[in-house]
C-alpha cells in the first residue's frame, strides 16, 4: 500500500519533485558561475580538486602553487588552507572534479541551444543538432542517431534519446548524475559500473576481467549507497562543527559589541574624569585667585594706611617749616620770643616722631605642588579579576601569637593570567576574625602578586 502525505492538495512526492526541479533550475540559471575558475575567471579547463575541496583549472592551480609555494606548501586561493605540493609536482595527477566536468557538459548543452556545436561521442563530428542517449550515456549527431535507431529493436531497445535542445530540468539532472567513463588506457569508452573494494577505485567491465580479476568487486551503485550513510554521518559532524563555529562567531561578535560599548563607556568616563579634574582645578584656581585677591586688598589697605600716616606727618612738617619761616621772615621780635617755646616743642615732637615701618611685604609667589608629569586621570583595566580563580598561598602554616606571618595572594584574571592591578590602594585584604591579627600590611610585588604581612594575637 502506498500512502502519500497530502498538503494543500499537493502530495509530498510531487512537492519533492518540484523542489528538485527548482534546485536544478536555479543551478542552470547560475551555471556559468559554478564552472568559473576563481584564478583565471574563465570556465574550467581540466578542473582539479585539492585537499580543501576547492576546484581550479589544472594549469591555473599549478602556476599559482609553484609561484607562491613555501617549504613545499602553498595556500588555497579561496580559503587560504595550507596544501602540499603534489609528488613530482604532477598537478595533472590530482583528482579530477567529475562534478565540474559534468557541469561543463551541461554548459555546453545549454550553449548548443544558442547555436554552439557539440562533439558526437561516436564519430567526433561537431553538430548543433546533437542528441543524447541516456542509456548509452553518449552524445550523438543526427547520422549516429539514425544508426542507433536501426538497432533499437535489438541492442538499444527502450533507450531514451532526446535532442539536447529539448532538455528539461529532469534531463539535465539525469545527465549530471551519469556515471563516469573508465580512465584506464584502452578502457576510455567503458562506463564505470563497479567498485573494487580492495583497490578503492571505480572500475569498468573490462577492468574486472583484467586488472581486478578475483578482487572484491561490488556494483558501483551499491557501494555508493553504502557510502552515502558514511558521508551523511561525516556531513552531520561537519554541520555540528559548523554550529560550534557559529557559536564561537557569535561569542566573538558579542565580545566585539561589548568591547565597542565598553570602549565608548570608558571614553566617556575619561572625559567625565577630565571634566571633574578640570572642575576641581578650576575650583582650586578660583580659591587661589580669591586668596591672592584678599591678600592684595588687605596689604593695599595696610600700605595705604601707612602712606596716609606718612603723608600726615609730612604735612605737619611742612606746616612747622612754613610757620618757622614766617616767624623768621615776617614776625616781630616779640612774636619770635613768644612762640619760641611752642615752636621748639612742636619741632622736637615732629622730629622725634617714629617713622612708620613698612606694614607689609610685596613678596608674593605661587609655588605649585602639582607635578604635571605625575598627573594621572586613572588607569584602564583590560580584564576582570577572577576572585574564584585567585589563590592564597601560606594558609597551611601554623600561626603563632606575636610572630609575624606572611601570605601570598595571587590574583588571576578571567583569562587565567596574573591580574596586575597597578594600584595597591584598589586591593583590600581582610583577615577574619579581624580582632585576632594586628599590623596588617599589604604590598604589591614586581610579579603582580600581593604580599600580606600580619602578626597573630
All three cell numbers of 218, joined, read: 561490488
Residue 26 has pLDDT above 60, yes or no: yes
Q: Kindly write down the DSSP assignment for every residue of 118-129, as one continuous string.
A: EE-TTT--EESS
- Of 11-15, 183-187, 232-236, where does mean pLDDT reach its minimum? 11-15
* The pLDDT value given to residue 452: 85
* pLDDT of the residue at 263: 93
Query: Is 400 a residue whose pLDDT tops 90?
Result: no
Predicted local confidence at residue 218, as pLDDT: 94
pLDDT band at 426 (very low <50, low <70, confident <90, very high): low
Flag whether pLDDT at 20 surpasses 70: no
327-382 per-position pLDDT tens digit: 888 888 888 889 889 989 999 998 998 888 888 889 999 988 888 787 777 777 76
133-137, 246-250, 325-329, 333-337: range with highest mean pLDDT: 246-250
pLDDT of residue 257: 95
Question: How confident is residue 424, by pLDDT bands cut at 50, 70 and 90?
Answer: very low
Least confident residue range of 97-106, 132-141, 171-180: 171-180
Looking at per-residue confidence, does 26 or 295 come out higher? 295
How big is the CA angle at 305 (ends 303 and 311), to the nearest 5 degrees? 100
The Cα-based distances of 309 to 319, 334, 358, 360 in angstroms read 15, 35, 12, 15
Residue 122 pLDDT grade (very low, low, confident, very high; cuts 50, 70, 90): confident
Q: Each residue of 193-241: pLDDT tens digit?
A: 899 999 999 999 999 999 998 899 999 989 989 999 898 999 999 999 9
The alpha carbon of 99 is separated from its chain's Cα centroid by a whole number of angstroms, namely: 36
Check pLDDT > 90 for residue 12.
no
Q: pLDDT value at position 25? A: 61
Q: What is the average pLDDT score of the chain?
A: 83
- What pLDDT, in 10s, does the model give residues 253-286? 999 999 999 999 999 999 999 999 999 999 999 9
pLDDT classification of 10: cutoffs 50, 70, 90: very low
Cell numbers found for residue 414: 578571567
Once rounded to an integer, what is the mean pLDDT over residues 8-24?
42
Q: Which of 158-172, 295-309, 372-386, 406-420 has the highest mean pLDDT?
A: 295-309
| Most confidently modeled range among 17-21, 217-221, 394-398 | 217-221
pLDDT grade for 6, boundaries at 50, 70 and 90 = very low
pLDDT grade for 291, boundaries at 50, 70 and 90: very high
Confidence at residue 191, expressed as pLDDT on a 0 to 100 scale: 83
Helix (H) and strand (E) counts in the chain: 9, 18
Instruction: Say if residue 387's pLDDT is above 80.
Output: no
pLDDT at 418: 59
| Most confident of the following: 26-30, 55-59, 123-127, 168-172 | 55-59
Residue spans per domain, the chain: 23-116, 228-352, 383-456
Report the topology of domain 23-116. Herpes Virus-1 (3.30.40)
Question: What Cα–Cα distance (Å) separates residue 283 from each residue in 187, 278, 279, 280?
Answer: 97, 8, 6, 5
Amino acid at each position: 500500500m502506498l500512502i502519500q502525505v497530502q498538503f494543500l492538495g499537493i502530495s509530498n512526492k510531487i512537492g519533492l519533485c518540484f523542489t528538485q526541479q527548482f534546485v536544478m533550475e536555479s543551478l542552470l540559471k547560475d551555471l556559468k558561475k559554478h564552472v568559473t575558475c576563481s584564478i583565471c575567471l574563465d570556465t574550467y579547463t581540466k578542473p582539479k580538486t585539492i585537499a580543501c575541496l576547492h576546484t581550479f583549472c589544472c594549469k591555473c592551480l599549478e602556476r599559482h602553487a609553484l609561484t607562491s609555494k613555501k617549504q613545499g606548501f602553498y595556500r588555497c586561493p579561496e580559503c587560504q588552507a595550507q596544501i602540499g605540493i603534489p609528488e613530482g609536482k604532477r598537478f595533472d595527477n590530482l583528482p579530477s572534479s567529475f562534478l565540474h566536468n559534468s557541469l561543463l557538459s551541461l554548459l555546453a548543452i545549454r550553449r548548443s541551444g544558442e547555436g554552439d556545436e557539440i562533439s558526437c561521442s561516436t564519430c567526433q563530428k561537431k553538430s548543433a543538432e546533437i542528441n543524447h542517449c541516456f542509456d548509452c550515456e553518449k552524445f550523438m549527431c543526427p547520422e549516429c542517431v539514425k544508426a542507433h535507431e536501426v538497432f533499437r529493436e535489438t541492442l538499444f531497445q527502450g533507450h531514451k534519446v532526446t535532442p539536447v535542445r529539448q532538455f528539461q530540468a529532469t534531463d539535465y539532472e539525469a545527465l549530471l548524475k551519469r556515471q563516469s567513463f573508465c580512465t584506464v588506457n584502452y578502457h576510455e569508452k567503458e562506463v564505470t559500473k563497479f567498485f573494487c573494494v580492495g583497490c578503492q577505485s571505480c572500475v569498468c567491465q573490462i577492468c574486472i576481467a583484467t586488472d581486478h580479476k578475483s578482487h572484491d568487486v561490488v556494483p558501483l551503485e551499491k557501494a555508493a549507497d553504502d557510502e552515502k550513510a558514511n558521508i551523511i554521518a561525516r556531513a552531520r559532524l561537519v554541520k555540528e562543527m559548523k554550529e560550534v563555529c557559529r557559536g564561537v562567531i557569535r561569542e566573538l561578535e558579542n565580545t566585539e559589541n561589548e568591547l565597542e560599548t565598553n570602549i565608548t563607556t570608558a571614553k566617556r568616563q575619561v572625559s567625565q574624569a577630565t571634566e571633574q579634574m578640570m572642575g576641581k582645578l578650576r575650583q582650586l584656581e578660583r580659591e587661589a585667585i580669591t586668596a591672592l585677591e584678599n591678600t592684595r586688598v588687605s596689604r593695599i589697605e595696610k600700605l595705604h594706611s601707612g602712606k596716609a600716616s606718612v603723608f600726615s606727618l609730612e604735612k605737619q612738617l611742612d606746616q612747622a617749616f612754613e610757620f618757622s619761616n614766617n616767624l623768621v621772615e615776617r614776625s616781630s621780635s616779640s612774636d619770635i620770643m613768644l612762640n619760641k617755646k611752642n615752636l621748639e616743642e612742636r619741632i622736637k615732637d615732629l622730629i622725634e616722631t617714629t617713622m612708620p615701618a613698612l606694614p607689609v611685604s610685596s613678596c608674593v609667589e605661587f609655588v605649585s605642588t602639582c607635578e604635571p608629569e605625575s598627573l594621572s586621570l586613572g588607569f584602564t583595566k583590560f580584564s576582570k579579576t577572577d576572585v574564584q580563580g585567585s589563590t592564597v598561598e601560606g594558609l597551611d602554616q601554623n600561626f603563632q601569637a606575636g610572630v609575624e606571618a606572611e601570605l601570598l595572594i595571587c590574583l588571576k584574571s578571567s583569562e587565567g593570567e596574573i591580574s596586575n592591578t597597578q594600584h595597591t590602594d584598589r586591593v583590600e585584604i581582610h583577615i577574619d576574625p579581624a580582632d585576632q591579627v594586628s599590623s596588617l600590611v599589604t604590598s604589591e610585588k614586581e610579579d603582580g602578586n600581593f604580599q600580606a604581612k600580619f602578626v597573630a594575637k
